[in-house]
Amino acid sequence: MNEAKNPLTQQQCIPCQGGIPPMDVAEINNFLLQLNNNWQINELGHLYKKYTFKDFLTPIKFANLIAALTEKEEHHPELLIGWGHCSIEMWTHKINGLTPSDFYMAAKIEKEFSDNFL
């Protein structure tokens, strides 16, 4: 699915106050299909993707775009930056699981990547 046309990018992240259950496997799989673009669920049950680049400064620029976007949305991922890569790990910390907002944020990150680095 073209990231620019992905309907998940149009959704607003909702800050979690806790007290809600994490998404179940069927919900997660449905959102993964909508998100596409090689996002996966890691061994901790978090949404994960590793982006690769050809130098060191480009993943830092990408991380800075993500930082501005996630501040605006008030939904922050874990980032790991190294030479030629930026890895993103998303989950809703207050419930230690996934919510739709994790997928909305991932779709918005995917759009930033396609708009600025492809």
Report the chain's mean pLDDT, rounded to a whole number: 89
Contacts of 4 (CB under 8 A, 6+ apart): 111, 114, 115
Joined tokens for residue 57: 């400064």
Model pLDDT, residue 39:
96
Domains along the chain with CATH numbers = 23-117 (3.30.1360.20)
pLDDT digits (tens, 9 = 90+) for 17-61: 777 889 999 999 999 999 988 999 999 999 999 999 999 999 999
Joined tokens for residue 85: 């890569």
Q: Which candidate, 59, 14, 9, places its Cα nearest to that of 35?
A: 9
